[in-house]
Chains A and B, each alone.
Chain A
Amino acid sequence: MEIKREPLPGDTTITDFRLRQLQARDMLRGELDEQELQRYVEERVLTTTVDRAVAWAQGNSIYPLTFGLACCAIEMMSIVGARMDIARFGFEAFRASPRQADLLILSGRVSIKMAPVVRRIYDQMLEPKWAISMGACCSSTGVFNNYALVPADKFMPVDVHVPGCPPRPEALMHGILRLRDKIQGRRRDGWRARYDAVGTEELLDAETPPDTAAVNVLQNGDTAGA
């Protein structure tokens, strides 16, 4: 295979890259004048608030807690595995002690005997902390709607619910990345905004007047259908 190098079009003696190199050399030598220096700095330095910088750092280095309860724990172990590598996002440092972790991934069914234990562990975690309810069993009671299970929302605040039974590792990854966006304050439009979908929302309070132009909108007082 022959490699041919072709010269760039235009003036080939001084390229843009070469200009930038010379400017950088001048900056380092202290030879740039006021205006050039100001423009140099503006082009290259990112300014932000401390909050956002800290949130960016926090979001990129979450320490999950090793908290596997049941079947979802096996899928959580799969994201640590090599195929759905969670280390590419920086979250591979699963800590065993709640004092060292910031993310509690509730993976599995929370029984009534276990709920106080989970609450105690969540309380032991230090602020800021987040919780992901992975799977159907801890978000609602999942497949088993019976006397033995408690949905996680009843006893602790949950940031992200990941549906599935068990959720695929990719789904859990999506949930964790949504949490990361939430931590970093990145606005993620919901699907209604993305697809410009109007007309099928449920109205919750009586103050908001119904949109008379839209059909099929549930009014308050309509029987359950949802």
Chain B
Amino acid sequence: MPDATALELTAQELLQVDSGSILDTSFHRGRAELVASPSAIRSVLRHLKDRGYSALASLHGVDYYPDEPRLGVIYEMLDMQRVDRISVKVRVATDAAEVPSVVELFPTAEFQEREVYDMFGVRFDGHPDLRRILMPEDYEGFPQRRDFPTGGEPILFTFNEQQTYGKWV
């Protein structure tokens, strides 16, 4: 992990290249995180890739309900030469959930962006094939959002099993 000062220096560098790209930095429990603005994510990742963070270890979504902007997409970057990790977070609101896709930079993002779309509803511009990957293709709703009910079956006991789904004779 870059330590706190190195993180600030990286953030400064990125802001010099493209002001308005980095909104915030955070360093907690050894984890360095840059909060980027959604429109600038491609240039931020390209810059980080040129600086050595050549691998995208993980791309996943988080729902920050009830904080706004609600949906977050987190990119875990990995530098294999110097064994360094840095995270980049992007936060979008539910009604404007569009993030540029990074599939050209990191082909590994293909399945992972589809999963974020499936689970959270974040659309990725420029993704070659954005459809649901884990849920059935015609499913409605985004399961991993915090206000989506967990669902499930009622627990069956002898007194309610006939009503719930009857008995196979």
Contact = CB atoms under 8 A, between A and B. Distances in A.
A157 B136 CA distance: 24
Interface in B27-44: none
Contact of A112 (B136, B156, B159): B136
The dominant DSSP class at the A interface is loop
Contacts, number: 42
B15 interface: no
**Which range contains the number of A residues in contact with the other chain?**
10 to 19
Contact of A226 (B136, B151, B152, B158): B158
Interface in B113-165: 135-136, 143, 148-153, 155-160, 165
Interface in A166-215: 202, 204
A112 B152 CA distance: 12
A121 B150 CA distance: 29
Nearest to B157: A226
Contact of A147 (B143, B155, B158): B143
A153 B156 CA distance: 12
B136 A146 contact: no
A154 B157 contact: no
Interface of A: 112-113, 140-141, 145-149, 151, 153-154, 157-158, 202, 204, 224, 226
Interface of B: 135-136, 143, 148-153, 155-160, 165, 168
